[in-house]
Amino acid sequence: GNSVTQMEGPVTLSEEAFLTINCTYTATGYPSLFWYVQYPGEGLQLLLKATKADDKGSNKGFEATYRKETTSFHLEKGSVQVSDSAVYFCALSLIKAAGNKLTFGGGTRVLVKP
């Protein structure tokens, strides 16, 4: 079956620190990969995505590269801000007739302190 594994949190950082959240996946096919972010009290928002090997998704200073050889899609940001405090979800999707079902990782809570 399909699954996504991401590092457990919480991850606590100081402002301007480097952030990495590891994400690996298993899939019966060739998935699209996503990172979603959930800010306190809000819904999940798409942060970035990549649809094929070696693609790099980027948004708001975050980046993740689709690595097929290591089945990974690690999220990175070079200098975090307090406003980046949120829960981050890695997810995959296989295009099917039923339409883009998402399989999520468990989420990683990130807390950035000033």
Partner 1 sequence: GAVVSQHPSRVICKSGTSVKIECRSLDFQATTMFWYRQFPKQSLMLMATSNEGSKATYEQGVEKDKFLINHASLTLSTLTVTSAHPEDSSFYICSAKGGLAPDTQYFGPGTRLTVL
Compute the distance between CA of residue 83 and CA of residue 29 in angstroms, rounded to an integer: 36
- Report if residue 89 touches partner 1, rule: CB under 8 A: yes
In the complex, least distance from residue 96 CB atom to partner 1, rounded to whole angstroms? 10
- Report if residue 27 touches partner 1, rule: CB under 8 A: no
- Report if residue 11 touches partner 1, rule: CB under 8 A: no
User: Residues in the chain, how many?
Assistant: 114
Interacting span for partner 1 (CB under 8 A) from 14-22, 37-45, 59-67, 71-79: 37-45
Q: Which of 14, 26, 45, 79 binds partner 1 (CB under 8 A)?
A: 45
Do 105 and 23 meet the contact criterion of CB atoms below 8 Å apart? yes
Q: What are the C-alpha distances in Å from 96 to residues 1, 6, 93?
A: 14, 24, 9
- Please say whether the dihedral angle defined by the alpha carbons of residues 68, 48, 105 and 28, taken in this order, is positive or negative: negative
| Count of residues in contact with partner 1, rule CB under 8 A | 20
Binding site for partner 1 (CB under 8 A): 4, 36, 41-46, 49, 89, 98-107
